[in-house]
């Protein structure tokens, strides 16, 4: 890309879930895809993810507006999550709390129901899939 071609309204650093969610939200708000640049240090996208495992929350409902059938099309989706356990251990005992919420948002319950609670994911595959979908929408992804 030459300097003359490098003209973006938004530059996002990081092609992790937050960066891609930002790009997806900009698309939803009406920003043209070719005005958005997402830069990632990993090549391919997803190679340098630092967290992962579970996508939580009501926000997942909104992904349907941007990427219809994302749960079925995404090769990184593993399992539906509908409860969460937190344990505290001492040298001779354990205390476990379990939460089962129809509207679990990753922090606690909410009053608004959600279509889903969360998914376990393979981040490298999920990140690559989201990046591919953003590119199809016109977003410029620059890995490595």
Alpha helices in the chain (DSSP H): 17-28, 59-66, 70-73, 123-136
pLDDT at 136: 92
Handedness of CA 55, 60, 66, 67 (dihedral sign): positive
Higher pLDDT, 58 or 139: 139
Residue 71 and residue 41 share a domain:
no
pTM for this structure? 0.72
**From CA 142, how far away is CA 105, in angstroms rounded?**
31
Which CATH number is 132's domain given?
3.50.50.60
pLDDT digits (tens, 9 = 90+) for 67-112: 777 777 888 888 877 777 889 999 999 999 887 655 544 444 455 5
pLDDT at 123: 85
Residue 80 and residue 31 share a domain:
no
pLDDT at 83: 75
Residue 38 and residue 26 share a domain:
yes
Residue 131 and residue 94 share a domain:
no
pLDDT at 45: 86
* pLDDT(120) > 60: yes
* pLDDT(113) > 50: no
Domain count, the chain: 2
Percent of the chain with pLDDT over 90: 26
Domain that holds residue 144: 1-52+122-144
Residue 39 and residue 60 share a domain:
no
Handedness of CA 14, 20, 25, 29 (dihedral sign): positive
**From CA 114, how far away is CA 64, in angstroms rounded?**
12
pLDDT at 144: 84
């Amino acid at each position: 890309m030459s300097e003359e071609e490098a003209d973006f309204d938004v530059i996002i650093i990081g092609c992790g879930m937050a960066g891609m969610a930002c790009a997806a939200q900009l698309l939803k708000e009406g920003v043209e895809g070719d005005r958005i640049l997402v830069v990632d240090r990993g090549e391919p996208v997803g190679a340098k993810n630092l967290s992962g495992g579970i996508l939580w929350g009501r926000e997942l409902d909104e992904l349907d507006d941007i990427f219809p059938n994302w749960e079925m099309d995404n090769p990184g989706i593993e399992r539906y999550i509908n409860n969460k356990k937190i344990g505290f251990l001492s040298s001779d005992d354990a205390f476990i709390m379990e939460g089962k919420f129809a509207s679990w948002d990753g922090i606690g319950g909410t009053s608004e129901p959600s279509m889903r609670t969360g998914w376990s994911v393979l981040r490298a595959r999920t990140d690559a899939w989201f990046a591919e979908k953003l590119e199809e929408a016109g977003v410029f992804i620059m890995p490595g």
